[in-house]
Chains A and B, each alone.
Chain A
Amino acid sequence: MENNVILETKGLSKYFYDPVKFQVLKEIEMRINYGEFVSIVGKSGCGKSTLLYLLSTMDTAYDGQIYIHNQLVTGKTDRELALIRNEKIGFVFQFHYLLAEYNVLKNVMLPGMKLGKYSDQELENRAMKHLKTLDMEDQALKMPNQLSGGQKQRVAIARALINDPLIIMGDEPTGNLDKKNSDLVFDIFNRLTQEENQTLLVVTHDTDFANRTTRIITMEDGKIIS
């Protein structure tokens, strides 16, 4: 049972100092198990995105502890955290953040090339496989600026998947998309949990989206209320 926990926080607090000292997150205790599709919802300013960025290891200014795969990540160096992000976490943001200088395939391969676990040839096959499951294989050699918003977001999802992460984190991944594309992205996420047992943690204010996930964490004033 213990080994099933992917992400765990203990007494997680976060303060903003500008313009005045303000506690955004108050002693958050949460736990995400393997294979869960979790959404975090709450009003604007309740600290849900802040929580996500703490969990993502990109923001390191906090009190309390974060465990990823039962391993304490609090207090690790920039380099160690970068490796953890590279290996264990996939990101999908509201904006796609594809590199304009590379084509779709290279964009997907980039985190894999950084990890260096697979050869370039193997990485290319894996990237193509992911693009195929997302119905994007015929766009592989296009540049990002030739794609539509929904297509770009699918490429970003493929990029998040390339290193077989423990968990995929999403910050409003459907925030910029229309209803049709939002549904598409949700279906992809849903399929990943159903078929691949992929763990997902998504911050959203789209209640439709949240209601269809397996677990909803509701936040208010820096606390988890349910």
Chain B
Amino acid sequence: MNFKLILNIAFHLLQARLKQTIVAAVGVTFSIAMFIALVSFMNGLNDLLDGLMLNRTPHVLLYNEIKPSENQPIFLSKEFKNKTNFIRSIKPKDIGKSIYNSKTIIAVLKKDTRVIDVAPKVTSPVFFNSGTIEISGVINGIDVLSEEKLFKISDYIVDGNVTDLLQNNSIIIGKGLSDKMLLSKGDIIKITTSKGNLASLKIVGISEIGIAEIDNVMSYTSLATAQKIVGESTNYITDIQINLYDRTSAPAVAKEFRNTFNLDTIDYQTANSQFETGSTVRSIISYAVGVVLLIVAGFGIYNILNMMIYEKMDSIAILKATGFSGNDVQWIFISLSIIIGLAGGLFGLLFGYIFSSIIDIIPFETASLPTVKTYPINYNPLYYGIGITFALFTTTIAGLFPALKASKIDPVEIIRGK
């Protein structure tokens, strides 16, 4: 088949109906541009909201959970092995929050190629004392450098510097706490642990995550300081946080580590399943709107091609009489719609990018997100690929039916009708 000739004819037909062609292409352009802008914005928003929670949640967390022992003494008895045993009033067993042999586990994890980094943590409930008032809260002893590497906590420090935590007896407290206790950077805060230990720490910073429940109770200190406050040795670690290069593999890795290290593990997907659901729903909505826009544009193309066929009946008839087969005529009309789809789609990508850039510079200031200044946009090239594929797909389908109709036109009927 002579595609050059077919394309040439298609182009000439388009030129003859330039205005309608442009209208059809603008329909595609508009829908693709809106699709790109919408998906980029939605995904930017998704990333932001996911980041709010997920970036602070380790992909895999290793810890000791307080729970009843799975192997009750009765199961060890040979006599009752094949019986069904009912045990009443089981109490959970506290094996201690400390992770046994934590140093070795951390060393092994650091060598694992799937792991970005490991951040050990000591968490303990404490009371913050202000005069006669005691406010309950949580103190997190963190390895400042690896915590910063994995979770970018410096993003949420509104006053002070996270590296100041490396000094002995320093603490960063949540904004809610500092507001309640009228404390600011440089002040001294008194802390009582649940075991009655007392400590005075110097405030070197204020953190604000944007979630009041967390900001009201949270505080950070160095690993060594936290171990000292709870009165434990330097081996005392309550949580091991791991981030993976491939975060989707977290559930599998969590399961593997649970068996390897005989610890409780939780992956971020299980911990934040409601966030994943929200992201999925938002994505579905934006794709659905995009597809609907494209279908509307597809109907526009269908109409215009149909009209063109009625107008060009004579031309189709003579093309067939002089040796173009039905197939050739069909390809002429399919290439017509592909040209419209391609031109409209490419402009759509361009305008989509421009719209996204405009959204990207609109100010979006919110107290809860100190690092965010403008609306978030995700410029993933994948969306542009999907956009142009959608455009070509819908326009080809829209062109297919008129093209089939054109290929079936009987030239005798038209020529004899004159």
Quick one: closest B residue to A160, CB to CB?
A: B322
**Are A159's CB and B412's CB within 8 A?**
no
Quick one: closest A residue to B327, CB to CB?
A: A79
* B152 on the A face (CB < 8 A): no
Which chain B residues lie closer than 8 Å to A53 at the CB level? 412, 415-416
Task: Give B contacts to A, CB under 8 Å.
Answer: 2, 5, 12-13, 15-16, 314-315, 317-328, 410-412, 415-416, 418
**Are A171's CB and B322's CB within 8 A?**
no
Which chain B residues lie closer than 8 Å to A171 at the CB level? 415
Quick one: closest A residue to B16, CB to CB?
A: A101
Given A58-B411, A101-B13, the answer on whether A85 and B2 have CB atoms closer than 8 Å is no
Partner of A101, one of B15, B328, B415: B15
Given A94-B418, A95-B418, the answer on whether A59 and B412 have CB atoms closer than 8 Å is yes
Partner of A93, one of B15, B326, B415: B415
Q: Give how many A-B residue pairs fall within 8 Å (CB-CB).
A: 79
**Are A111's CB and B323's CB within 8 A?**
yes
Q: Nearest Cβ in chain A — how far from B156, in angstroms?
A: 65
A85 to B412: give the CA distance in the assembly, Å.
13
Task: Give A contacts to B, CB under 8 Å.
Answer: 49, 53, 56, 58-59, 78-79, 81-83, 85-87, 91, 93-95, 97-102, 110-111, 113-116, 159, 163, 171
**Are A100's CB and B16's CB within 8 A?**
yes
Q: Which 7 A-B pairs have the closest CB atoms?
A: A86-B323, A82-B325, A97-B318, A101-B12, A111-B322, A79-B325, A95-B418
Can you report 8 residue pairs joining A to B where beta carbons are below 8 Å apart?
Answer: A53-B412, A81-B325, A82-B320, A95-B418, A97-B415, A101-B15, A101-B16, A101-B315
**Are A82's CB and B12's CB within 8 A?**
no
Which chain B residues lie closer than 8 Å to A98 at the CB level? 318
Q: Nearest Cβ in chain A — how far from B320, in angstroms?
A: 7
Which chain A residues lie closer than 8 Å to B15 at the CB level? 101
Q: Nearest Cβ in chain A — how far from B386, in angstroms?
A: 35
Which chain A residues lie closer than 8 Å to B16 at the CB level? 100-101
Which chain A residues lie closer than 8 Å to B2 at the CB level? 113-114, 116
Q: Nearest Cβ in chain B — how far from A76, in angstroms?
A: 11
Partner of B322, one of A59, A95, A100, A114: A114
Quick one: closest B residue to A100, CB to CB?
A: B16
Given A58-B411, A59-B412, A97-B317, the answer on whether A102 and B327 have CB atoms closer than 8 Å is no
* Most chain B beta-carbon contacts within 10 A, residue among A85, A98, A163: A85
Q: Nearest Cβ in chain A — how far from B405, in angstroms?
A: 15
**Are B321's CB and A58's CB within 8 A?**
yes
Given A53-B412, A59-B412, the answer on whether A78 and B318 have CB atoms closer than 8 Å is no
A63 to B248: give the CA distance in the assembly, Å.
69
Which chain A residues lie closer than 8 Å to B416 at the CB level? 49, 53
Given A97-B314, A101-B15, A113-B2, the answer on whether A82 and B415 have CB atoms closer than 8 Å is no
Which chain B residues lie closer than 8 Å to A111 at the CB level? 322-323
**Are A113's CB and B12's CB within 8 A?**
no
A110 to B8: give the CA distance in the assembly, Å.
11
**Are A115's CB and B12's CB within 8 A?**
no
Q: Nearest Cβ in chain A — how far from B417, in angstroms?
A: 10
* Most chain A beta-carbon contacts within 10 A, residue among B13, B318, B323: B323
**Are A99's CB and B315's CB within 8 A?**
yes
Quick one: closest A residue to B12, CB to CB?
A: A101
Given A101-B13, A101-B15, the answer on whether A159 and B322 have CB atoms closer than 8 Å is yes
**Are B318's CB and A83's CB within 8 A?**
no
Which chain A residues lie closer than 8 Å to B12 at the CB level? 99, 101-102
Partner of B323, one of A82, A99, A100, A102: A82
Given A93-B418, A114-B5, the answer on whether A85 and B322 have CB atoms closer than 8 Å is yes
**Are A83's CB and B412's CB within 8 A?**
no
Partner of A82, one of B5, B314, B328, B412: B328
A95 to B411: give the CA distance in the assembly, Å.
13
A78 to B328: give the CA distance in the assembly, Å.
11
Known pairs A58-B321, A58-B410, A114-B323 / 13 extra A-B pairs, C-beta < 8 Å: A53-B415, A58-B411, A59-B412, A83-B323, A95-B415, A97-B314, A98-B318, A99-B318, A101-B315, A111-B322, A114-B324, A114-B328, A163-B323
Q: Nearest Cβ in chain B — how far from A25, in angstroms?
A: 14
A91 to B415: give the CA distance in the assembly, Å.
11
A93 to B418: give the CA distance in the assembly, Å.
10
**Are A78's CB and B325's CB within 8 A?**
yes
Q: Nearest Cβ in chain B — how far from A187, in angstroms?
A: 24
Quick one: closest B residue to A54, CB to CB?
A: B412
A7 to B403: give the CA distance in the assembly, Å.
33
Which chain A residues lie closer than 8 Å to B326 at the CB level? 78-79, 82
Q: Nearest Cβ in chain A — how far from B85, in angstroms?
A: 80
